Structure 1
């Protein structure tokens, strides 16, 4: 890898503001600090950032419940897209999930996100006809 490729590493609290900036510029909802704190008590090694110049350029959150892995919140700074950063983040997350014994990884793609669906399909993720059901258990803090 050349010097322009970021280092994929575990999220640190000092990254939070930069990660928020990536989520915002990528048009993603920001995960509040309290939710990040909760996430970090479970599997902090599955919350990854792409760190380089000029700082954090990408982020992905993963989790593993002992049966299935999940990928959430993949985002790359729009000015750094098409440089392989998202692919690097996913590859490292998959490596870490595999090391934990994870047999299958799931993720959600919004129906109108055609570019996102093409990206995931290039990485071998295939659409399933499952129906997503969701229920908030607490009032929204946002």
Structure 2
């Protein structure tokens, strides 16, 4: 049975391995430390048989929620784990009074886009702009 719970530091190595297995960048501990001081209840893991099987990182700035770094262990995909993680994260956003949730999908990731659309997320014609701050080696 899958259990959704908040991330704790003993999960870090498993979460980092899962992100890597899913092709995601691994957030360093210092970045996660800063994130966890703000809204730790929005960093969730899915545990299956005592092991981390999925993860999602949410943030809320008081105006908009963001869903980041959703990943499920390739060995446990197609079991509804991602949907469960997103559902719990959405419930936590709602409890915080969050009026809208955003996320980014790479334009060539049609599978991901279909997943998000099935959950009610609609593509927007926004243009993403980014600027590296400070250390650009990451």
TM-score w.r.t. length of structure 2 = 0.97
Q: What aligned pairs does 1:52-63 form with structure 2 within 5 A after superposition?
A: 52-63=48-59
Q: What aligned pairs does 1:17-96 form with structure 2 within 5 A after superposition?
A: 17-96=13-92
Q: 1:104 aligns with which of 100, 106, 120?
A: 100
TM-score w.r.t. length of structure 1 = 0.94
| Rounded Cα–Cα distance in structure 2 between residues aligned with 1:59 and 1:99 | 20
| Rounded Cα–Cα distance in structure 2 between residues aligned with 1:18 and 1:72 | 17
- What SS does the aligned partner of 2:71 have? strand
Q: Could you tell me which residue of structure 2 aligns to residue 9 of structure 1?
A: 5
Post-superposition CA distance 1:63-100 (Å, at most 9, x none): 11111100000000011000000000000000000000
Deviation at 1:141, TM superposition (A): 4.7
- What SS does the aligned partner of 2:117 have? helix
Q: 2:118 aligns with which of 102, 116, 122?
A: 122
Question: How well do the aligned residues superpose, as a CA RMSD in angstroms?
Answer: 0.9
| Rounded Cα–Cα distance in structure 1 between residues aligned with 2:124 and 2:11 | 34
- What SS does the aligned partner of 2:38 have? coil
Question: Structure 1: 5+ residue runs without aligned partners?
Answer: none
- What SS does the aligned partner of 1:8 have? strand
Deviation at 1:45, TM superposition (A): 0.2
Deviation at 1:140, TM superposition (A): 3.1
Report the number of matched residues: 138
